[in-house]
Structure 1
Amino acid sequence: MEVLMIGRFLGGISTSILFSAFESWLVYEHNKRGFSESALATVFSHAALGNSVIAIISGVAAQFAADAFGYVAPFDLSLLVLAVMCVFVYTTWVENYGDEKAPVHESFSKAFHTIRTGESNFIE
């Protein structure tokens, strides 16, 4: 039972990191390319719909794999999809290095100051 609780806890943390990192990246790239605010709302709504559709397809594929090859097969299938997507991301995405000219200690100081003083960082 403890392993399941730890798994759920770590899954929640990783999901939070996954979605917050993606959303931050998306907003940055959207603004950098000069797209309108209404287009950003459209992208987020399409992303939410796409996530739902992919979740349904993933569930059906996992059930098919489990029925055909046993209960471990969905995990093996997820590893295959992860490997394919890692190759896709590595070959098609560009890295966001931020301000490469800024000293590292200055960047961390600004980040710490923003976290410490910025009330807008927290959801109410």
Structure 2
Amino acid sequence: MILALPFRRLLGLGFAAVMTQAVVASDLTAEEANTIIKEDVAAAQVMTEMCPALIGKNAKLDSNIQALIQTYLQDYSDSSMTLAKLQADAEYQSVLTEARQAAKDTSADEQKAVCLEALELAL
């Protein structure tokens, strides 16, 4: 599973996908693509939880992360999918738990670097 990657690398991959407007590979099923999207959204949600403690509360950071989440959700197979709907999804909750653990297993310096990258993100 992608969450086995270090947290910084996971988010870096997510940023790269958004920045290059990468398309989900055609050989993935809709279910597989949705799982990847859930992983990306979970990583972004973890950032909303940890970044304020690392770099302070910041409206631009909040806005950037919310924009990132919306960008991820645009590729979800159900075009009406929202973060609120994902919160009720059992698979998403499992992925979110894994993302939180990956963040805990990452050094504070790496966490802070990810937060600063998100702050500078231009979508």
TM-score by length of 2: 0.29
User: With CA pairs under 8 Å and 6+ residues apart, which has the higher RCO, 1 or 2?
Assistant: 2
| Higher normalized helix content (fraction of residues) | 1
Rg (Cα) greater in structure = 1
TM-score by length of 1: 0.29
